[in-house]
Amino acid sequence: MVDMLSIGDFARATHMTVKTLRHYHRIGLLEPAGVDTSTGYRQYTAEQIPIAQVIRRFRDLDMPLEGIQAVLSAPDLSTRNERITAHLVRLEDELTRTQRAVTSLRNLLAPGTSEKTPAIDLRAVPATPAAVITEVVDAEHSVAWLQGALGELSATLLAQQLPAAGPAGGIFSDSLFTEHRGQVTIFIPCTGKLRPLGRVTAAEIPAAELAIIEHAGAPTEVDRAYGALADFVTRHALAVDGPIREYYLIGQRDTLDTARWRTEICWPVFRVGATHPVP
């Protein structure tokens, strides 16, 4: 006859609370070896302790309960290891994001230790014919959507043998910033007659007077460039209504080295005339 452990003894043995064990039973993650039909008391065997310990380790690694169930129910060793490895990769990615955020916060808390803010230029940009994709986008998906749109635009121009006439860019409605959902237009300036294809259409990017700052690196810290630019146009009373623009001078399609990425952030301002730097 197999010796059984009460739920209290099993909780002590595994360092899981009784409440947790009951929850795991309800969702089928760790079912007791038996349940007394008259009292409803749960009973476990010593052989279940290693399984409980594995579950605790996965929870310590922030693996979701459904992920743990998928690992424990894997049909073979290879599948089990693939599911564990996938979670470890997600943890490593999260750790990288956390380290970047910590570094950024330290720089913000220690003014003068980070790089100097890039110069801000005032520039008059003429109207430009371009291949464009325009859609309403959620902010949380905007980076992935932008890369997909740029790829589609580039492929369309290549297929129609139309050369790019300048760096790709984007125009972003205010609601994308204020409501985290809004219209976005991604474009590549081009010459020649563009034949609409799929999401790609021909349009003219309107002329604009812009204050421009260059952001170096990945988009994760682009808010600092936006903040510096907003401070500048506010202090100089230059801001006017109009959508924000970005121009992608060097990006993911050019190099995987994020340190080399360069993006111009453009804020609409009062008429400035010819291009000139701000002292």
Per residue in 82-128, pLDDT tens?
988 988 888 888 888 787 777 767 766 765 544 565 689 999 999 99
Whether 182 contacts 137, CB under 8 Å: yes
**Amino acid identity for residue 70 in this structure:** A
Rounded distance between C-alpha atoms, residue 211 and residue 233, angstroms: 7
Q: What is the pTM of this model?
A: 0.63
* Helix (H) or strand (E) segment spanning residue 133: strand 128-138
CB of 229 closer than 8 Å to CB of 213: yes
- pLDDT at res. 279: 41
Distance of alpha carbon 148 from alpha carbon 162, whole angstroms: 19
The pLDDT of residue 275 is: 45
For the purposes of burial, counting CB atoms within 10 Å of the CB of 243, is it exposed (0-12), middle (13-18) or buried (19 or more)? buried
Provide the Cα torsion 150, 263, 207, 139; round to 10°: 60
Sign of CA dihedral 209, 231, 102, 214: positive
Q: List the structure tokens of 167.
A: 């760096």
- Which secondary structure element, helix H or strand E, spans residue 97, and what is its range? helix 77-109
pLDDT block averages, 10 residues each, the chain of length 279: 82 91 94 89 92 91 90 89 89 82 70 63 94 95 93 96 96 92 96 94 95 89 86 84 94 87 93 49
Of 157, 158, 148, 146, the closest CA to residue 185 belongs to: 146
